[in-house]
Amino acid sequence: MPPATLARPEFRPDPDRSRAEMESLQRELAATATFTDDHGLAPDSVAVDEPVDCSAGLPPATPDAGDPDAPVVVGIDQAFRSDGDEAVSAAVAFRDGAVIEYADAVTPVSIPYIPGLLSFREGEPILAALEALDADPDLLVCDGSGRIHFRQAGIATHVGVACDLPSVGVAKNLLCGEPTESVDGRPAGWQTPIRADDTVERVGQADDTAPVIGHAVQSRQYPNSPRVNPLYVSPGHRVSPATTVDLVTAVCAGYKLPEPTRLADAHADRAKRRHDRDD
């Protein structure tokens, strides 16, 4: 299936919906999403062992690099043009630890940022960047939440379900839920579950349950001054919470952020500069 083909077009993140309609659609998304493993991906098959050297700028993509049968992992991120009216979405495809493709797209921003409704602001731009890719993703790594969301349907869930692709969300801040342990000053490699709290709607679950909706993961830390905050990782679609940790950890290569989204962030900034210059 081409990456931008919507398997479930009824879940297109239409920003023209009312807020009540958006929230209702998210409840449907959460009920439709699969938060168990349905992908056949092993962490070592997607691993990035060495960080990409960006000291002289982003390296060129090498479409034929690595094992051609290895899974394709696509990182997604965005930047916004100076007027704030357009989003520059970036997708970076990795295979066997190497960058095989960059893609980007510029699309209008239709609504302001509203906590919990990010996918309706950024979802269509993300789909445009995926459409620009030649590579077919086996896993999407999104800069944002998946199941760690007020209605268990963050941007990684929305895009994953709409495209029916395995997806995970990697957020820098905790949107909702409660860590099982304090996250302060933890060493690299530490993790703890995030359970649903009173701000998280139970979708298809008994009200008295507190499901694990993701994890806090300490991907990097300064050994003598532990001040790096953890990542908050959660399944988007077709991945379990525990496997989400394994997959995200496999694509981290020494930096706090996973390599796919670290490079997607840099590519989004580069593409924004290019579009500003062209104008």
Residue 207 structural domain: 9-53+68-278
pLDDT beyond 60 at 193? yes
| Token pair recorded at residue 116 | 């919990």
One DSSP character per residue, 235-254 reads EEES--HHHHHHHHHHT--S
One DSSP character per residue, 80-129 reads E-TTSSEEEEEEEEEETTEEEEEEEEEEE--S---TT-HHHHHHHHHHHH
> Given CA atoms 165, 171, 175, 180 in this order, what sign does their dihedral have?
positive
The answer as to whether 185 is a domain residue is yes
Range of lowest pLDDT (4-8, 57-61, 109-113, 269-273): 4-8
The answer as to whether 119 is a domain residue is yes
pLDDT beyond 70 at 279? no
| Token pair recorded at residue 225 | 């001054």
What's the pLDDT tens digit per position in 212-263? 999 999 999 998 889 999 999 999 999 999 999 999 999 999 999 999 999 9
Whole-number pLDDT of residue 229? 96
Domain holding 96: CATH number? 3.30.2170.10
Provide the percentage of residues in the chain whose pLDDT is more than 90.
Answer: 82
CA dist., res. 245 & res. 141, Å (int): 12
pLDDT beyond 50 at 2? no
Whole-number pLDDT of residue 149? 98
The answer as to whether 58 is a domain residue is no
pLDDT beyond 90 at 166? yes
DSSP state of 59: P
The answer as to whether 238 is a domain residue is yes
Number of structural domains (the chain) is: 1
What's the pLDDT tens digit per position in 39-56? 999 999 999 999 999 989
CB 52 within 8 A of CB 261: no
